[in-house]
Chains A and B, each alone.
Chain A
Amino acid sequence: MGPARDSFLFEIVYCHLSKDPSCDSVRYINLSFIPVELNWLSFSLTAFFWIFAFVNAALISVLMLIWGERRLIGKFQARLGPNRWGPLGLFTPIADAIKVMFKEDVEPTLSDKLIYVLAPILMVVPVFMIFPVIPYGAKSFLTNISVGVVFVLAITSINSLSVLMAGWASGNRFAIIGGIRAVAMLLSYEIPMGISAAGVVIIAGSLSLSEVVEAQIIPNAIFQPLGFLVFLVASTAELNRSPFDITEAESELVAGYMTDYSSMKFGLFYLGEFMATIASSAVIVTFYLSGWRGPSFLPIPGEFWFFAKWIGVIAIFIWFRATFPRLRIDQIMSLAWKGLFELSLINILVIALTMAIWPDPTSTQLLFMTGINWVVFLGSVYIFGKILSPNLTGNKIDKRKVIYGLD
């Protein structure tokens, strides 16, 4: 039960605690006090330390995100945003958290109590599991599981179950319609998301997130712009963020699947959504923006590049929310099935073909492949835009074709 494979974060705590001989190369003298026979104790203490650290870091970053999102949207809409409590309104999310915690906890009479309580927990817990597998630096990860790409996609897919449970358990029509709509949307957008992630896997030749980062000599966002576009749009939809926040469209569904949730149960949904935004941004940085890699001539550690790109992607999500108007449910479904699905298939086809022609590309061949990908990207987006735009913007809707439109 030695330290996890090459994990610097694990090692630095574990070797402080244990007298494990496998730590000898990085021995931290005078501190290690637990004998080798009690290895399991130091192992679990390390695990508990990192769980504690990651959970708290995630919670604090959610507070930061709430503040940042409000400030930034304020800037976008030419107003001030929160600015009363603390410097630049920095303490506003704390006030928010206190307000949410002390609200009255109302449980609707018609609710299914058990599922009603389980749903918000199932929304939050899986998101915590994404943070440990992401490589924040060359060796700064907690665990490097060999199937990281699929793991991330699988863990993010659990939230559709939670949404359905919440919608059902509330015993409210608005909630159940919101839940079913959300599930239809989440299941459809998982498909283009998974297929465009396959393009990343083909380039890396591995499902491990560390190797995905190491394989990106050119960042995947530049190398395969089509996959990046599809993944970005699909993950915006997966996060229930605007312009895809049809699940909680106040104008037509009250508040969707969380209509009947109050107090900290509502707070957990809120927390889950914001934390999923942060986790998803980290995933996008790893998949498409070459993770911790930066310009190699600068003596700056990889963790810095990772966090800079991370904040950049979060800012893009906030920009989406401030800019785009909300889509109708039939527009959302047709975008998923008529647009993104085909685009992701074209992307994987082109990537697979070019990789079959040049299995081990030199740098000039890489640039040539990038050129091909850009030509395909611009061409296919133009053609699909021409085909889809009357579908998305036209006022005439054939009622029979709108399967999910309930209005």
Chain B
Amino acid sequence: MLVDVVFYIVALLLLGSSFLVLFSSNIYRSAIFLAFSMLSFASLYFLLSAEFIGVVQILVYVGAVSVLIALSVMLVRDIEKSTQGNRYRFISNILISLTIILIASFFINYDWNLYSDNILNSSKCLLSECKNESGILISSTDWIGKLITADFIIAFQLTGLILLASLIGALALLRIRMGNNDSK
């Protein structure tokens, strides 16, 4: 009852802010409302008692990524009218809606119980608190830690490697630009 009410309020906030991201002509406002939709998304995770994922969503997406997006949006030339006017707007709206419906119908019809192996069971534990063999509650944080450091260690390391590569790439670009300034 209470959870349902909270869910519908949060869902309304999420839908409203997402629509504002899409349909506001001011691109800076879009960036800010993106942050708000991330925040409401995080509260959906809290409702599913996936507290760790929700908190990380706030920490990474609201606290850092959306700030970086808002900073980079400031470099756009005409911020107030930058998303206005596109000849293919109507067609692209229809195409995007069709794609979303297609993906959604795939997810709804898909039999998620097909692979009831260890990984799927533990991914269920990500969304709520599970009990181990002796019946003690294990929080989802424990499961995430175990999955990252045991089952998906190579994927985790590779993600770190990609981030490191992008960091070095950004620094290298900065160096090249500064070097050019020096030669002038």
Question: Which residues does A use to contact B, with CB under 8 Å?
Answer: 1, 40, 43-44, 112, 114-115, 118, 145-147, 150-151, 153-155, 157-158, 160-161, 164-165, 168, 176, 180, 183, 187, 190, 207, 400
Contact = CB atoms under 8 A, between A and B. Distances in A.
Nearest to B6: A44
B63 A160 contact: yes
A158 B62 contact: yes
The secondary structure that dominates the B interface is helix
A69 B93 CA distance: 56
B98 interface: no
B7 interface: no
Given A118-B32, A150-B52, A165-B32, A207 B141 contact: yes
Contacts, number: 77
Interface residues of B, number: 28
A180 B39 CA distance: 22
A40 B1 contact: yes
Interface in B125-151: 139-141
Contact of A160 (B1, B2, B67): B67
Interface stretch (B53-61, B81-89, B104-112, B155-163): B53-61
B59 A400 contact: no
Q: Is the interface of A mostly helix, strand, loop or mixed?
A: helix
Contacts of A151: 51, 55
Q: Which 4 A-B pairs have the closest CB atoms?
A: A157-B63, A154-B59, A154-B58, A146-B139
Contacts of B32: 115, 118, 161, 165
B66 interface: yes
B28 A168 contact: yes
Contacts of A161: 32, 35, 62-63, 66-67, 70
B63 A158 contact: yes
Given A43-B2, A112-B28, A154-B58, A180 B66 contact: no
A51 to B, nearest CB: 14
Given A150-B56, A157-B58, A112 B29 contact: yes
B114 interface: no
Contacts of A155: 58
A190 B26 CA distance: 29
